[in-house]
Amino acid sequence: MDQLPATAGTQTGIQTAQGNGNRGRGALQGADPVSSNEYLTFAIDSQQYGIDILSVREIRAWTEVTNLPNTPDFVRGIINLRGTIVPIYDLRVRFGGGRTTPTRMHVVIVVVAVNGTFGLLVDSVSDILSIDQRDLQGVPNTGMADDHQFLSALVAREERMVSILDLDRLVNQATASQMEQIAAQQSGQAGIATAS
């Protein structure tokens, strides 16, 4: 795997190559049942979630963000990550919970998906799981609108249930476009929180 340059004090030791984030969904669409993929797992409250590790660009300690007007509630703001404007999304809010009050223990997982690069504010990173595709279970139909079905699969592991996220559904094209426009407007202005 390619490693990104380390930044002292702001990143954990987990760094991966960029990927397309689509490997997890293939399991439910006829992929080889004996293959396995690695997933980075993290916690929000007591719930465990996972994302395909190939979509993870880096993991960072929480730093202050630049707030933006007229954005969805789950958008915490933006940071300047080595010259790239990256929106930060509060997953607790995105999943229908209250706003996270970040502490030095919270982390941001910077990911690359079809709709761009963005950061996910989470409580903590748990571990990396290697999951056989045959162990992935479909998500039960709950009658939610497509825009709110953020999960691609579920897996039971060591007496815990891990919900595998679909990053391409988590941030839809309309939200990504809105953030790109705001970032373009803000990039020429001073005062954007810089993360090194």
Residue 3 located in a structural domain: no
Per-residue pLDDT tens over the stretch 49-91: 999 999 999 999 999 999 888 888 899 999 999 888 899 999 9
Q: How confident is the model over 90-110, as a mean pLDDT?
A: 93
pLDDT score at 84: 87
Residue 2 located in a structural domain: no
Q: What is the CATH number of the domain that holds 125?
A: 2.40.50.180
Q: Where are the alpha helices (DSSP H) in the chain?
A: 23-26, 91-94, 167-170, 173-187
Residue 1 located in a structural domain: no
Per-residue pLDDT tens over the stretch 103-144: 999 999 999 998 889 999 999 999 999 999 898 988 887 766
Residue 188 located in a structural domain: yes
* Total count of domains within the chain: 1
Helix (H/G/I), strand (E/B), else coil: 146: helix
Residue-number span of the structural domain to which 88 is assigned: 11-195
Residue 5 located in a structural domain: no
Residue 135 located in a structural domain: yes
d(CA 29, CA 84): 34
For residue 48, the cross-strand partners are 43, 162
Residue 196 pLDDT class (50, 70, 90 cuts)? low
